[in-house]
Amino acid sequence: MDRKMNRRDFVVGGAMAGVAATLPGSLQALELAPRGPAVIVRSAVKPLVISAANGMRSRDAAGKSAVEKAYEMIVGGSDVLDALIAGVNIIELDPKDTSVGYGGLPNADGVVQLDSSCMHGPLKRAGGVAAIEGVKTPSQVARAVMNETDNHLLVGAGAQDFARRLGFEILPDLNTPESRRLWLEWKRRTDSEHYPDPKTRATVGMQVGLQMVREGLIEAEHYYGTINCDGINARGDICGVTTTSGLAFKIPGRTGDSPILGAGLYVDNDIGAAGSTGRGEANLYNLASFLIVENMRRGMTPKDAGLDALRRIKANTIEKRLLNSRGNPNFYLNFYALNKRGEYAGLSMYPARFAVCDERGSRLEDTVPLLTGSATD
């Protein structure tokens, strides 16, 4: 026996029939057919490039900065990593920049040793070089390690030999007159003692270098000179690159965070990217770029993910030689983070700026600092 129709069934059924009657035949069938689960289609991401502040300083022959060059290539359809590396090449090749590539501040022996790493989100690949000499663009060698080998990191003479075999120009000296002048000034002010004293763990070399920063001879950001550059295209493909001449007047062979995956750079194409500039040892101890990406995986915004990493670094900084008069870290450390939705942030231990390029153009924006004042307060 048919079920009796109550008033509610009658009203709903009548309403549906009335709607269906106004639709074309094919739409009627579609509208009244059984429905499956709703599918949410992600809208396109707006392309974006972020970097350390020096991504806005050097210019190529066409007058474009690193972030502008990378953004232009990304929106033009280039591979994201290729675009980012083309961007940072502008700085690596700029003899006036003493923080990256050609003319970067040398080590304690007056030799320019460079580090770099890159990560390709969609391809799940990475490559890096450390303490490489004679090559102006270590970011390109890092990409070659990624594409041409089964390894993630080559160092020292082995990295240089690899670059030579692939046809990279090897120069006998990457110093410029400016980088050599600054090294000579540093040598005049210090002796050859670069290892921490067992009691105080303070070095004359570091003290003199920071004094040169305070006197304006070396920019504070260039003392730990580095550029990290990360980008995303309209498909949501994420890549990143970090390149540096490292700590000014460092112990020969010293390698910081820049070429180490998870420290100077980390990319997960499903989540986002993070990279760093500043005191590499503080970042290495905490693997903070990896931490930031994992924080974003757990749902944090780029801002909150980066501030959480900075809090951990502050908590782990306990040696007196690394603390200022307020008991806070006496060094600078910045992070640059973006997620899969194209949201981004610059985070820092103390107030700083970072470079951004998107549909609104290129600009410097203020970071979100963990602490007020400066590292030397």
Q: What are the extents of the domains in the chain?
A: 48-369
Rounded Cα–Cα distance for residues 294 and 223 (Å): 29
User: What is the DSSP pairing of strand 48-52 with strand 125-132?
Assistant: unpaired
Quickly state the pLDDT bin for 215 (edges 50, 70, 90).
confident
Label each residue of 342-368 as H, E or C: CCEEEEECCCCEEEEEECCEEEEEECE
pLDDT given for residue 188 in this prediction: 79
User: Per DSSP, what are the bridge partners of residue 278?
Assistant: 333
Is the pLDDT at 162 greater than 60, yes or no?
Answer: yes
> pTM score, two decimals?
0.83
Task: Please choose, from the candidates 354, 366, 350, the residue with its C-alpha nearest in 3D space to the C-alpha of residue 313.
Answer: 350
Handedness of CA 179, 184, 188, 193 (dihedral sign): positive
pLDDT given for residue 186 in this prediction: 87
Is the pLDDT at 30 greater than 80, yes or no?
Answer: no
Is the pLDDT at 32 greater than 80, yes or no?
Answer: no
pLDDT given for residue 37 in this prediction: 43
- pLDDT tens across 81-108, in order? 999 999 999 999 999 999 999 999 999 9
Average pLDDT of the residues in 145-171: 98
CATH of domain 48-369: 3.60.20.30
Residue 244 annotated in active site: no
Quickly state the pLDDT bin for 185 (edges 50, 70, 90).
confident
- pLDDT tens across 9-25, in order? 443 444 444 434 443 44
Which residue is catalytic, options 203, 242, 255, 277?
203
Average pLDDT of the residues in 315-328: 96
pLDDT given for residue 241 in this prediction: 98
Is the pLDDT at 200 greater than 90, yes or no?
Answer: no
Quickly state the pLDDT bin for 259 (edges 50, 70, 90).
very high
